[in-house]
Amino acid sequence: MATAHIESNLEDIASIVLMPGDPLRAKYIAENFLENYKQVNSVRNMFGYTGYYKGQKITVFASGMGIPSIGIYAYELYKFYNVEKIIRIGTCGSNSPDIKILDIVLADTAYSLNTFPKLFDGDLEKEYPASKQLNNKIMETANKKELNVHCGKIITSDVFDVYVDFEKYISNYPNENYLATEMESFALFYLAKKLGKEAACLLTVVDSHFDSRVVTSMERQTSLNTMINLALESVVSFD
């Protein structure tokens, strides 16, 4: 089968999907972490790969940037390819001095001012939760690996907040302790709820309004590898 945006056959896609934003990061994960992988999508250069990690069949499929893009790919994977679980693995900006650059954040809920749910089916909610089951597995795995993971509420924004005044930006949101800002998870969590699926979001902090230091490419890649490995190790612990 094929959809408007995915050329894969049904059997090409695993029931568990890791979803980075960057197509080249999907390629990197397949080449460096998966065994016996094959490319299963190249439409619009939104690369997808399916292979095995410790015997578990896994698809790594890029989402692109922003809610409209992940909304398309997550919906088609859930609806037409029998995907049950999607774990977004991406980057974010810190909204708190306690969340440092290169820290790992696990989203408990995602809040957004975006109208995606309203336009999709009239849903007016502004906050959607991640799967408790997936999050519990991820935190359990992180604890076993002695990794410090911050779990809490995040913002999904349509604006790259680094470009705007932070105090004005953050004043648009309820007075809550949002750990970080990214641009996709709100739609992913909404679609999972709507379609009776599961979704989670792991993020590596790559910029902060409270820290002006510039990380090296090696530091960034090492931190992203830690997040990727955490997601993969969590996947193989699923029943």
Instruction: Please list the active-site residues.
Output: 207
Decide if 239 contacts 156 (C-beta within 8 A).
no
Q: What DSSP state is assigned to residue 163?
A: G
Is the Cα dihedral 75, 41, 158, 205 positive or negative?
A: positive
Q: Return the HEC string of 97-115.
A: CCCCCCCEEEEEEEECCCC
SS3 80: helix
CA distance 187 to 164: 23
Please give the structure tokens belonging to residue 34.
């998966």
Contacts of 132 (CB under 8 A, 6+ apart): none
Through-space distance between the first and last CA atoms of the chain, rounded to whole angstroms: 28
